[in-house]
Amino acid sequence: MFGNMFLKNYTNRKFFTTQIKKYTNFRFTEQHNFIYHKNNIYTIGITKFLSRKLGPIIYVHEFENIIGKYKKEKEPLLILESSRTMAEINSPIDCVIKEFNQELIYNPFMINENPFRNGWLYKVYSPIPIFLDNKNLMKVDEYTNYIEKNF
């Protein structure tokens, strides 16, 4: 019994770490958020690891209309409700919210299917180049090690 549990946990961890290696221009947080930078806009979402832990996402609830508003790091952005639990998603960085992924209201399962492409949550702007000096953000290899050590 315990052998199968270990094997299952090991293979899940191995799956997540091999899947994540192709995303080298992303940064990750300990709360399993990802941040992708392109053309001065950052895309924020949750990682595949967190989406699998939550289970099938059935509802996305935005606290308020926050488009154009400034959010500090760790301020709440939205709640994801799954068949197992609810998770409050907080802002991983200080930023101005530019866009919310409206498709998630009608098809929240896109977060589980592909959080890095169609299942992103927000597009934000930050005047500070956050990838350079932010100690709270991990590169892909650091995030992989974090998952392997802690889960």
User: How confident is the model over 10-26, as pLDDT tens digits?
Assistant: 445 555 555 555 666 89
pTM for the full model? Answer: 0.82
The pLDDT of 25-36, averaged and rounded, is: 94
Tell me, which fold does domain 28-136 have in CATH? OB fold (Dihydrolipoamide Acetyltransferase, E2P) (2.40.50)
Compute CA 147 distance to the chain's CA centroid, rounded to the nearest angstrom. 14
Instruction: Work out the percent of the chain whose per-residue pLDDT is above 90.
Output: 70
Q: What is the pLDDT of residue 55?
A: 95
Q: What is the pLDDT of residue 14?
A: 55
* Residue 134: closest CA among 75, 73, 77: 73
**pLDDT tens by residue, 60-114:** 998 888 999 999 999 999 999 998 999 999 999 999 999 999 999 999 999 999 9
- Domain ranges for the chain: 28-136
